[in-house]
Amino acid sequence: MRNYSAQTLLLAGVAAAGSYVVYCFFDVLGKRYTGHDIPVRQVLPITFVCYAFNLNLSAWVGGIALRYRLYSRLGLRPSQITRVFTLSLLTNWLGYMWLAGLIFVLGGITPPSGWEIGMGALRVLGAALLLACLCTSACAATPSAANGAFAVTTSACRRCAWHWCRWYWAR
């Protein structure tokens, strides 16, 4: 730690705090999606603790087991906890895909000379990641009949794919 500058440590602390804030709000989205009545003031600390355990002891302990334990003690059914966890997981990975896609498309990194993939292929990969994110977001923007929240439905994804194919072949 003594070898790092104060500015580097401060930036690392800000990045860590930011990641905790963002991750905590994934379960707030899950609260809206499932429609459970646990207040946000109780959801945020649960997610904060689960994220810490997730980073230090693995996803099986922090992401899944601890989340099931804490939410079930507050009265959520296993099906609701699964939906909150799944939405959190999907949101997390969708964020990684957006970030990687943007970095690759904008040329934010240069692959080492020994790699088989070049800058052009990396940009194509980035564009594919961004396209996958856009398609997933479009599919997810279908209101659920159950609670009015946003839900990924098979029929919405089929409609999205159908409209994309019609647009692609019509050009």
DSSP string across 6-60? HHHHHHHHHHHHHHHHHHHHHHHHHHHHHT----HHHHHHHHHHHHHHHHHH-II
Domain ranges of the chain: 6-170
Strand partners for 151: 142
80 Cβ partners below 8 Å, 6+ apart? 34, 36, 71
- Are the beta carbons of 64 and 88 closer than 8 angstroms? no
- The encoded tokens of residue 8 equal 């580097």
Q: Is the pLDDT of residue 7 over 80?
A: yes
1 Cβ partners below 8 Å, 6+ apart? 9
Of residues 155, 152, 117, 108, the one with CA closest to residue 133: 152
Residues in the chain: 171
* 163 — pLDDT class (breaks 50, 70, 90): low
Helices 78-105, 119-140: crossing angle, 10 deg rounding: 150
Most confident of 82-91, 141-150, 161-170: 82-91
For the residues 71-97, what does the mean pLDDT come to?
89
pLDDT digits (tens, 9 = 90+) for 105-133: 998 888 888 888 888 888 999 999 999 88
pLDDT of residue 142: 55
User: Average per-residue pLDDT in the chain?
Assistant: 82
Query: Rounded to two decimals, what is the model's pTM?
Result: 0.71
pLDDT digits (tens, 9 = 90+) for 38-53: 999 999 999 999 888 8
